[in-house]
Amino acid sequence: MRVIQFREALREALSEEMRRDENVFLMGEEVAEYNGAYKVSQGMLEEFGAKRIIDTPIAELGFAGIGVGAAMNGLRPVIEFMTFNFSLVAIDQVINSAAKMYQMSGGQFNIPMVFRGPTGSAGQLGAQHSQAFENWYANCPGLKVVVPANPYDAKGLLKSAIRDNDPVIFMESEQMYGDKGEVPEEEYLIPIGKAIVKRAGSDVTIVSFGKILKVALAAAEELEKEGISCEVIDLMTVRPIDYDTVIESVKKTNRLVIVEEAWPLASISTEITYMVQKRAFDYLDAPVHRICTQDTPLGYAPTFVQEFLPDVARTTKAIKEVLYRK
């Protein structure tokens, strides 16, 4: 199977869906003439033209609103935010228009659109450009929230998101666009709302998603050297959450550690912890542990970045605590 970059997988998904359906179009800052801030849309202006690959002013509220209106009229817009930090400018259109229009119109208006772009930290970008918003958007009924962790998943999930009749928040990472992975040339879709077991194990369940899944997998590999068997689950979608896959794994391993790039209060890990104790409390042999970012805005210095994010050391420590709790 061929190996391509994360950005190339996204580009293929967008291009294939635009060839398949003339109602699909891409709109955002620098997506056309500049070939995309992260080169996801490179070459797409030449193929599809300026009516379907649309550069916008720096006005997220405006072009997000245009996207909602287009979706109400039968088109399938893909709205690219240069970063989801900038989506805060457009959040009224995302939350009060896109997410609620189907319910408020009594089912008269579907909103088949995708809001996509990078989320979370990407190194030394400062506090205003280093925030993870997966749990924020997952809190809102009417939205679906997808966070892929590799090129294969990114392509299959983005194609499903574009075909979905509800608004989908599709969250990537600036630090993953150059990641490489195997992606088949033939068409495939990955269903939204289904988690996957990335690594089978018997001693402890690790749940994660997005780029921090790399930390979970690295911790599992490190602990395997010590004879500890970790089952690693990639949620892929954080609304809806596939609770059943998590619960079945916990029933097997009896221990759970959740690794997430988000502030701890009202995080996805908090929600999963609640559901596990509600549905599988009697199977737990230790309290659930979570590893989140530090509960502070992210500083600029590289030492702050290192201390802020979940890492392998914190993850392996938490796993050993749930395994050897006295």
Known catalytic residues?
60, 129
**The two structure tokens encoding residue 233:** 């689950």
Query: Residues 59, 137, 82, CA angle at the centre, nearest 5°?
Result: 35
30 φ, ψ to 5°?
A: 65, 20
| Chain CA centroid to CA 26, Å | 19
| Whole-angstrom distance, CA of residue 76 vs CA of residue 23 | 5
Classify burial at 281, counting beta carbons within 10 Å of its beta carbon; exposed 0-12, middle 13-18, buried 19 or more.
exposed
Closest of 169, 178, 133, 192 to residue 40, by C-alpha = 178
| Whole-angstrom distance, CA of residue 279 vs CA of residue 136 | 24
| Whole-angstrom distance, CA of residue 210 vs CA of residue 194 | 14
Tokens 């379907």 belong to residue:
52
| Whole-angstrom distance, CA of residue 302 vs CA of residue 306 | 6
**Using an 8 Å Cβ cutoff, are 183 and 2 in contact?**
yes
